Amino acid sequence: MSDHFLTKDLQLAGLLYAKGAGFIGVNRSGRLCWFVFENHGVCEKLQQQFFSKSVDVNAKEYADALRTLKDLVFANEQ
C-alpha cells in the first residue's frame, strides 16, 4: 500500500474520484471510512490544489462522484 493515498475527507475523495485518480475502494476502521486511491503523488498534487482552491472540476462529475462514494459507504454499513 506504499503508493496508495488514503483520505477520510469525503469532499476530497469526491474530487479525486471525479478527476480519475484511480479509486481502489473503501477501508473501514470501526465507524471511520478511509477512501483509498492509486498513485499517491497525483493525489497529493490534487489535494494541494483542492485546499488552495486552484483545481477545476466538472460540477456534474463531482456531484456524481460524491453520490457514488456515499452509496459505497452506506451500502457497506454493518
Grid cell for residue 28: 473501514
Burial of 4 (0-12, 13-18, 19+ CB in 10 A): middle
pLDDT level of residue 11 (50, 70, 90 thresholds): very high
Angle, CA of 45, 48 and 53, to the nearest 5°: 125
Answering whether pTM is above 0.85, one says yes
Grid cell for residue 50: 483542492
Q: Give pLDDT tens digits for 24-48.
A: 999 998 889 999 999 999 999 999 9
